[in-house]
A and B are shown apart, each in its own frame.
Chain A
Amino acid sequence: MNLKEKIFEKIENGTFLSTFCPKCKKHMWPPSNNCKECFTTTGLKDIYNEGILLEKSYSHIVGQQGYFGIGDFSGIRIIGKLESNIEIDEIILISKVKTNNNNKILVEFKKIDN
């Protein structure tokens, strides 16, 4: 299995992983077998699922209607579907992750209630 296949297999089980450099203590996203800073072989590790919403918009495209946005999760940036009431710079949580038939990662973000 290549890296993408391994990550997608875990997503099927509801776990969102990416590669992690044990030396630099940093996630690699998109995933890579070697750290791009020190070239150390990476391993797989859960993505920290609390982040900040950087920007958002609303898609009118059929099949993708609704709010979406880009979140920063400790340096990893992911685009996902949003609840409507989340504002820029608010803290968000990856509430759901799965893959679709087109081999894409479907991520959903929700607001963290204080």
Chain B
Amino acid sequence: MKVAIDSVDTLGFEKSSDFSLSELACKSIINILKKTKIEKQEVDGLIVSTCSNEQYLGNIISEMVGLNPKISTKLENLCNSGTSAIFLGYSLIASGICNSIIITGIEKQYSPGNQLLWDITRGVYDLPVHWAALFAKAHFRNFNTCDEDLALISEKNHKNANKNPNALFYNKVFRFDDIIKSKKIVDPLKILDCCYPCEGCSSLLLVSEKLAKRSENPIWIKGISQNNQGASFANISFDLRSIASTRIASREAFKQAKLKPSDIDIAELHDAFTILEVLAYEDIGFTEKGQGSKFVKQERLYTNTRGGLLGCGHPVGATGIDQTNEIVLQLQDKAPSIRQRKNCTRGLIHNMAAAGTSSTIIIVEK
């Protein structure tokens, strides 16, 4: 059974607000219900993506907005939560259990999802920037990637964020020299190579093929796959030149979609750190291993047009949904005109968690 994305909504990402998680979610869900032609009574699923420890959020939010769905639940998968929720919603509709599911991602800035405390293999180096720096060092050593290559990615994504009013860094201009000279965090990564944890909420509505007939501009999920290699950095660090979960999820998603990387017009890549965008180009198959930093200069693919995690900020549970929303808007030709790209038919979303221990790939088409 085919599954489509009917409508999307994003609240502005910011450092913090006085709103509770459930209040944020309700605002965004109400926006979705106002945009869609699907009636509220027809929504038979709500999946809340968040790393918050708050209890029973699915049912609390359902009650607050007046939904009585078949399934109402919360899902946590660290930074990969958002697309994991889409994966679950897709599966429930594709199997015929549900017809219409709202996926909403919410996070506060100081989320338990910002650090994986369980992983004792990282020793005292438990901030994500430490594993990201080891990936970067390996790439520099093996493929002559350099600081300037990473700075170009940061510059591109921050420039894109300047065209996205929902982005945390919408009003902040970072030039190439600012990025190169920014404060060192863990060599070779500087502060402007790193995303910023923030508050945010993004939602979307998934519908069955039957309900999609009422959608103005349905965007079809052609391939969706996730791969999980475990949870600890130690178990994926046998090859620091590559992220295995991304390679495996990508291969499976392209197989489902009967497409290849060169068929993709636009992609949202998980750039929590600049080096991860380089690795994503290679591991998804947009370019050969070791050529990621050259690929970005070739501008053969629209990437991270909303600003990426670097420019938008990273509200952990909402990120994967907001990445998907951007691709949907671009394919629907509904992105704000300043950042709308022309002639996009197919898009890809790449979302991952915890040193690449898990990755999701979604391929969509209009």
Which chain A residues have a beta carbon within 8 Å of chain B's beta carbons? 4, 29-30, 54-61, 64, 68-70, 76-81, 88, 100, 102, 104-107
- A88–B123 alpha-carbon span in the complex (Å): 19
- Can you name 6 extra interface pairs (CB under 8 A) apart from A54-B237, A61-B186? A57-B186, A70-B134, A78-B123, A81-B124, A100-B124, A106-B124
Instruction: Determine if A78 and B121 form an interchain contact, defined as CB atoms under 8 angstroms apart.
Output: yes
B199 to chain A, nearest CB (A): 24
Note all chain B residues with C-beta closer than 8 A to A80. Answer: 123
Are A79 and B120 CB-contacts (below 8 A) given A55-B134, A55-B240, A70-B237? no
Contact of A61 among B127, B138, B234 (CB under 8 A): B127
Instruction: Determine if B234 and A68 form an interchain contact, defined as CB atoms under 8 angstroms apart.
Output: no
A40 to chain B, nearest CB (A): 19
Are A57 and B237 CB-contacts (below 8 A) given A29-B121, A30-B120? no
Asked whether B119 is an interface residue with its Cβ less than 8 Å from the other chain, the reply is: yes
Residues of B234-288 contacting chain A, CB below 8 A: 234-235, 237-238, 240
Contact of B124 among A70, A77, A88, A105 (CB under 8 A): A105
- Nearest B residue (CB) for A106: B124
Are A78 and B234 CB-contacts (below 8 A) given A58-B186, A61-B127, A105-B124? yes
Note all chain B residues with C-beta closer than 8 A to A77. Answer: 121, 233-235, 237-238
Give me the 6 closest cross-chain CB pairs, A-B, nearest first: A77-B234, A58-B187, A57-B133, A104-B124, A79-B123, A55-B134
Are A57 and B130 CB-contacts (below 8 A) given A30-B119, A78-B123? yes
Note all chain B residues with C-beta closer than 8 A to A68. Answer: 125, 130
- Contact flags B115-145 to A (C-beta < 8 A → 1, else 0): 0000111111111011001101110010000
Are A30 and B187 CB-contacts (below 8 A) given A54-B237, A77-B237, A88-B141? no
Instruction: Determine if B124 and A57 form an interchain contact, defined as CB atoms under 8 angstroms apart.
Output: no
Q: A-B contact count, CB below 8 Å?
A: 84
B346 to chain A, nearest CB (A): 36
Note all chain A residues with C-beta closer than 8 A to B184. Answer: 60
Asked whether B173 is an interface residue with its Cβ less than 8 Å from the other chain, the reply is: no
Instruction: Determine if B134 and A105 form an interchain contact, defined as CB atoms under 8 angstroms apart.
Output: no
Are A30 and B137 CB-contacts (below 8 A) given A60-B184, A80-B123, A105-B124? no
Instruction: Determine if B187 and A79 form an interchain contact, defined as CB atoms under 8 angstroms apart.
Output: no
Asked whether B185 is an interface residue with its Cβ less than 8 Å from the other chain, the reply is: yes
Note all chain B residues with C-beta closer than 8 A to A88. Answer: 141
B232 to chain A, nearest CB (A): 5
How many chain B residues have a CB neighbour from A under 8 Å? 30
Residues of B45-96 contacting chain A, CB below 8 A: none
Which chain B residues have a beta carbon within 8 Å of chain A's beta carbons? 119-127, 129-130, 133-134, 136-138, 141, 183-188, 232-235, 237-238, 240
- A105–B127 alpha-carbon span in the complex (Å): 14
Instruction: Determine if B123 and A57 form an interchain contact, defined as CB atoms under 8 angstroms apart.
Output: no
Note all chain A residues with C-beta closer than 8 A to B232. Answer: 29-30
Note all chain B residues with C-beta closer than 8 A to A54. Answer: 237, 240
Note all chain B residues with C-beta closer than 8 A to A55. Answer: 134, 137-138, 237, 240
Contact of A104 among B120, B130, B188, B234 (CB under 8 A): B120
Note all chain A residues with C-beta closer than 8 A to B235. Answer: 77
B193 to chain A, nearest CB (A): 13
Note all chain B residues with C-beta closer than 8 A to A59. Answer: 125, 130, 133, 185-187
Instruction: Determine if B234 and A57 form an interchain contact, defined as CB atoms under 8 angstroms apart.
Output: no
B90 to chain A, nearest CB (A): 29
Instruction: Determine if B126 and A30 form an interchain contact, defined as CB atoms under 8 angstroms apart.
Output: no
Note all chain B residues with C-beta closer than 8 A to A105. Answer: 120, 123-124
Note all chain A residues with C-beta closer than 8 A to B137. Answer: 55-57
Instruction: Determine if A79 and B240 form an interchain contact, defined as CB atoms under 8 angstroms apart.
Output: no
A41 to chain B, nearest CB (A): 21
- Nearest B residue (CB) for A105: B123
Note all chain A residues with C-beta closer than 8 A to B126. Answer: 104
- A68–B127 alpha-carbon span in the complex (Å): 13
- A100–B130 alpha-carbon span in the complex (Å): 18
A49 to chain B, nearest CB (A): 15
Instruction: Determine if B124 and A64 form an interchain contact, defined as CB atoms under 8 angstroms apart.
Output: yes
- Nearest B residue (CB) for A67: B187
- Nearest B residue (CB) for A88: B141
Note all chain A residues with C-beta closer than 8 A to B136. Answer: 57
Instruction: Determine if B234 and A30 form an interchain contact, defined as CB atoms under 8 angstroms apart.
Output: yes
- A30–B357 alpha-carbon span in the complex (Å): 14
Instruction: Determine if B121 and A79 form an interchain contact, defined as CB atoms under 8 angstroms apart.
Output: yes
Instruction: Determine if A79 and B133 form an interchain contact, defined as CB atoms under 8 angstroms apart.
Output: no
